[in-house]
Structure 1
Amino acid sequence: MTGSLLGSGQAAAILFGIFFTALLLRIPVAFSLALACLPILLIEPRLSSEILVQETFNSYNSFILLAVPFFLLTANLMNGGGITDRLMTLSRTMVGHWPGGLAQINVVLSFFFAGISGSSTADAASQSKVFIEAQRREGYDDSFSVAITAVSSVLAVIIPPSILMIIWGGTLTTSIGALFLAGIVPGALITVAQMATVHVYAKMRNYPTYKRASWGDLARSLLVSVPALTTPFIIIGGKIFGWFTATESACIAVIYAAFLSLLFYREMNLRGFYEALVDTGRFSAIALFCVGTASAFGWLLAYYKIPQAILSGVSAWHLGPTGMGFLVAGVFLVVGCFLDAIPAIIIVGTILQPLTVSAGMDPVHFAMIGIVSLAFGLVTPPYGLCLLIACSMAGMRLMDAIKDVLIMLAPMCIVLVMIIVWPEIVLFLPRLISPDFLR
């Protein structure tokens, strides 16, 4: 930038050099981003360290971001109020008689829970407590149990309402309603891919199967679970039909979850409600702190016009929508291995967006390729937060589970390729239900 002490290349070297060094030293991502910003703010005469605080807090001045803690609170209320237990019973009556019954239940419960929580880390933590030890007792291999629990948890950021969709929509000005609709088909396809993988494992390793539930049992478990299953319809339906915004839908989800937990099912007391609030505060602080420092990092990238310098070379490749889709997926798959999904969206998504526009790619298609690719990063080392959670709960090393994780990711990668090659997989529902979202 004219008048700046540092050039784009020098600034980029300092920012990314310090950031990745801090990550190698195992400094948390949010602090690594802040530490990377400080030297430049102190060196550059026109800037000051106050900008780090200013840009961090500017990023919080967003009505959309309020949805993040509310969706996390909804998930905690569902877990503590017995709602998850009822969804697990429903899952068992539906797929418990399939090969690898308990693992199939694990996947289906993650599918249901994804429509409520929007947080893969919350899903990984709650599912690990329930399933890993249960699968051990039934003779499942530890590596398989950890892998399927971690991999199924990524559904929570693909199936609406997803926290990543809210961050993406707020940062890159993409319709959140369109993203909610666009995530349904890819989420369902990945669920089917995971269940097929479990089927193959179960046949090869002779994993146990439950007795088929009667139609009466299925009807009873469905009836009991209907109030819980209504939650995603309230959240998604209200946003689609314009009854309320994404943030307002999150607030209504909290009220509804609290009603079910405290008054309808009556399995949560005031102490449990307090604990849900405390857990939500802790997880929200972690997520939003990442948003703030990533925004400051992104501001410095823009100040030195680093994205333009990066894009100038790539623009010469003249990629079409499909080629650009593979480039986007490749970048996010690599970035997701080292960086949390939220700062990746704010930093990398902002850099790639102009390229996708010039290639003629639909913004919703771009968003879903990015979100699905980043979801894989939740279970791939060295970052792999969901995998780390599952391994910690199981008391095993990450490297002992990585082989099964990679095997399970293979059919999911096929779904990602399908999304890139056939955009209608993503755009079909938004165009059918609410085409205004795509304008």
Structure 2
Amino acid sequence: MTASSTSTADNPDAFSLPNELEPPRAGAWLLRPIEWVSAALMLAIVGMLLAGVASRYLLGAPLTWVDEAVSIAFLWLAMLGSAIAIHRNEHLRLTVFLQMLPERLQGPVQAFGLGVVALFLLALVRPALEYIESESYVTTPALEIANSWRVAAIAFGVFAMLAVLAGHAWRTCRKSHLAGAVVVLAALAAGCWALKPVFADLGTLNIVVFLIGFVAVGLAAGVPIAFCFGIGTLAFIAFSTQVPVGVVVGRMDEGMSSLVLVSVPIFVLLGCVLDATGMGKAIIDFLASLVGHVKGGMSYVLLGSLFIVSGISGSKVSDMATVAPALFPEMKRRGQKPREMIALLSTGAAMADTVPPSIVLIVLGSVAGVSIAGLFQAGVTVALVLLLALAVLARWQARHEQMGGVQRAPLAVVGRTLLVAGPALVLPFLIRGAVGGGVATATEVSTIAVLYAMLIGAVMYGGIGLRKIYDMLVETAALSGAILMILGTALAMAWAITQSGVAQELAAFMKGLPGGVPTFLAVTIAIFLVLGCILEGLPALLLMAPLMFPIAKSLGINDVHYAMVVVVAMNIGLMMPPVGVGFYIACRIGNVSPDEAMGAIWPYLVALLVGLVVVAAVPAISTAVL
């Protein structure tokens, strides 16, 4: 993904008014040094992890300070990247309802959305500063420095986002609209404050008011998803509980600071390296030489590429960013519509998310106490079932494909493309073998994979220039910041739901359902479809996995089998419009309006659901390989 340079009509997720001709550059003076620091932090994280791996496995002397140093750099990267994402219009939001409004109302609603973001950030200023002070009394064990050096990233990121947002709003919104937004938000805040005694008596119904109602209104108004979660959680805590709002900062810190998540930006960077060196394209060219000549062939290539590349990057975002630019032009030439290609891209990414190294599987294994090696083994076979379901539908959709001038590739071409793609094809097996064999963690393997890709790219694929490397580092920071901000606010929201007792009541209800295992699995699918839409992947797992897996075990369901059902259902939900975050990522990568692609994705989602039902009904698909 690159910074947007199109009009808002072409880029409906942008943070600008519908009639804006170009993205705003307000705050560029502030963003330049932030981009420099972000690029340096990304390099430092990769370098420290590589040094840790080399010291442990080559010298037999682990560097005890690496994890702490990486944790500090990672949180700073996440917060600075989030500010860059605001500047680049890369925070994800829903625009379908905004675009349905009359043009005269779009400006005021847009200003209201920016006001909600600003209100959330302003509400975090004092708690973030207090959090620095409270963490100053905590000393890290290895580096022996105050933890305030790490958590200061949250406060700095909040101020940076506020500065960028303020300049942007001043440039793109009418002053009357901004004034109106301030008045409306002030009135809402005052009304909620006056109704605090009423909210106190509502009990768990406050979940509906704040964590559903407020979030839904924010989404409809075009507020970025991360900030919808944040403002809903903040309002729930401030107006319906006695809990200090500062807890939101602590939960955001927890959501964005897990060392497991460090693999997210590194795998995203790996995807950028694959794209820049042409390694990803080499894999695609090889598959195209094999099956590109048949009807639906490019759809098969897209699905196969996602399956293979997923084993390299571990990230749906980098998978889609690698595959789409290489295949979409030829698919368009054959008469496929952009909305159909986006539908196949997004559901294909959902299919491939169980292919190791999957960040979701790694997190689930650690949260639910399930063997990560077992999850990796089962994930491949489950993905093959989903791949077959999508391939059958893709062949049907391609029945009218224009095949004029398309010829079978000669055997010599197939051999040549295989020779070129060979070093890239080795990478998935390197990653899976290292993690599955316990040689290195997923985070460590991701850094080794980046080094391997850089070296092979330099030797066989022409290498990457310094300017391009810098651009990739900044883009990785921006994309990671947008993703991690969602994770941070979603985890705060998940914590609020857990504290309200609703999650425990739900688990008790499910344990008492009639019908045994089939009913339990059906309800599990429904719950994780919804949670995948609303909470995104990792927060949904963090919220429900500790509650659901003991129930599944008490019913005699194999942990790995249940994990596959949960992950697939969650990934399908992630791609389900109008809320699913993954769907909007795919639309941004393919430069297609979500409103246009929304109608085309449903047949592919149904195909995935059919595959999910088969996986749930036949446990051997998940367990036979264990």
- In structure 2, the residue matched to 1:166 is 362
- In structure 1, the residue matched to 2:529 is 333
Give runs of aligned pairs for residues 139-218 of structure 1, distance below 5 A: 139-205=335-401, 207=403, 210-218=406-414
Contact 2:348 2:390 in 1 (8 A): yes
- In structure 1, the residue matched to 2:250 is 54
Amino acid at match of 1:194: L
Amino acid at match of 2:265: P
Provide Cα deviations, 1:194-242, integer angstroms capped at 9, x if missing partner.
Answer: 2222322333455558322233322222222121111111111111111
Contact 1:140 1:207 in 2 (8 A): no
Q: Does 1:12 align with 2:207?
A: yes
Deviation at 1:184, TM superposition (A): 0.2
Q: Which runs of 5+ in 1 are unaligned?
A: 432-439
- In structure 1, the residue matched to 2:9 is none
**Cα–Cα, structure 1 residues 307 and 198, in superposed 2: closer, same or farther, change >3 Å?**
closer
Provide Cα deviations, 1:288-312, integer angstroms capped at 9, x if missing partner.
Answer: 2222222222222332322122233
Deviation at 1:386, TM superposition (A): 4.5
Structure 1 counterpart of 2:432, from 236, 241, 262 = 236
Distance in 1, Cα, partners of 2:548 & 2:232: 21
Q: Which runs of 5+ in 2 are unaligned?
A: 1-198
Distance in 1, Cα, partners of 2:540 & 2:556: 22
**Cα–Cα, structure 1 residues 113 and 91, in superposed 2: closer, same or farther, change >3 Å?**
same
**Cα–Cα, structure 1 residues 35 and 354, in superposed 2: closer, same or farther, change >3 Å?**
farther
Distance in 2, Cα, partners of 1:404 & 1:8: 41
Q: Does 1:307 align with 2:509?
A: no
Distance in 2, Cα, partners of 1:345 & 1:334: 12
Distance in 2, Cα, partners of 1:274 & 1:395: 23
Provide Cα deviations, 1:52-99, integer angstroms capped at 9, x if missing partner.
Answer: 111221334433222222211211111111101211111111211222
Contact 1:118 1:156 in 2 (8 A): no
Give runs of aligned pairs for residues 278-293 of structure 1, distance below 5 A: 278-293=474-489
Contact 2:568 2:612 in 1 (8 A): yes
Provide Cα deviations, 1:321-353, integer angstroms capped at 9, x if missing partner.
Answer: 333222111222233344433333333445534
Q: Does 1:68 align with 2:264?
A: yes
- In structure 1, the residue matched to 2:283 is 87
- In structure 2, the residue matched to 1:35 is 231
Between the aligned residues of both structures, percent identity stands at 27
Contact 1:260 1:266 in 2 (8 A): no
Distance in 1, Cα, partners of 2:347 & 2:240: 44
Provide Cα deviations, 1:385-422, integer angstroms capped at 9, x if missing partner.
Answer: 44435545666554544454222333322211111011
User: Which of the pair has more CA radius of gyration?
Assistant: 2
Q: Does 1:388 align with 2:584?
A: yes
- In structure 1, the residue matched to 2:614 is 418
Structure 2 counterpart of 1:25, from 221, 227, 246 = 221
**Cα–Cα, structure 1 residues 6 and 279, in superposed 2: closer, same or farther, change >3 Å?**
farther
Distance in 2, Cα, partners of 1:183 & 1:209: 38
Contact 1:101 1:209 in 2 (8 A): no
Contact 1:88 1:105 in 2 (8 A): yes
Task: Judge which range, 26-35 or 343-352, deviates more.
Answer: 343-352
Contact 1:158 1:187 in 2 (8 A): yes
Distance in 2, Cα, partners of 1:171 & 1:284: 22
Deviation at 1:427, TM superposition (A): 2.0
In the superposition, the TM-score normalised over structure 1's length comes to: 0.87
Contact 1:291 1:342 in 2 (8 A): yes
Contact 1:238 1:244 in 2 (8 A): yes
Give runs of aligned pairs for residues 236-385 of structure 1, distance below 5 A: 236-385=432-581
Contact 1:106 1:149 in 2 (8 A): yes
Contact 1:101 1:208 in 2 (8 A): no
Contact 1:90 1:221 in 2 (8 A): yes
In the superposition, the TM-score normalised over structure 2's length comes to: 0.63
Give runs of aligned pairs for residues 96-111 of structure 1, distance below 5 A: 96-111=292-307
Deviation at 1:133, TM superposition (A): 3.2
**Cα–Cα, structure 1 residues 7 and 233, in superposed 2: closer, same or farther, change >3 Å?**
farther
Distance in 2, Cα, partners of 1:307 & 1:194: 33
Task: Judge which range, 132-141 or 267-276, deviates more.
Answer: 132-141
Contact 2:288 2:301 in 1 (8 A): yes
1:203 aligned counterpart, secondary structure: coil
Which structure has more relative contact order (CA 8 Å, sep 6+)? It is: 1
**Cα–Cα, structure 1 residues 43 and 103, in superposed 2: closer, same or farther, change >3 Å?**
closer
- In structure 1, the residue matched to 2:30 is none
Task: Judge which range, 86-95 or 45-54, deviates more.
Answer: 45-54
Task: Judge which range, 68-77 or 130-139, deviates more.
Answer: 130-139
Deviation at 1:160, TM superposition (A): 1.5
Distance in 2, Cα, partners of 1:151 & 1:209: 29
Amino acid at match of 1:12: I
Distance in 2, Cα, partners of 1:348 & 1:30: 20
Contact 2:310 2:355 in 1 (8 A): yes
Amino acid at match of 1:135: M
Distance in 2, Cα, partners of 1:358 & 1:18: 37
Provide Cα deviations, 1:126-169, integer angstroms capped at 9, x if missing partner.
Answer: 43333333322232334433332333232342222122223323
Q: Does 1:137 align with 2:137?
A: no
Task: Judge which range, 315-324 or 265-274, deviates more.
Answer: 315-324
Contact 1:88 1:109 in 2 (8 A): yes
Task: Judge which range, 235-244 or 45-54, deviates more.
Answer: 45-54
How many residues of Structure 1 are paired with residues of Structure 2 in the alignment?
427
**Cα–Cα, structure 1 residues 311 and 95, in superposed 2: closer, same or farther, change >3 Å?**
same
Task: Judge which range, 76-85 or 297-306, deviates more.
Answer: 297-306
Distance in 2, Cα, partners of 1:82 & 1:394: 18
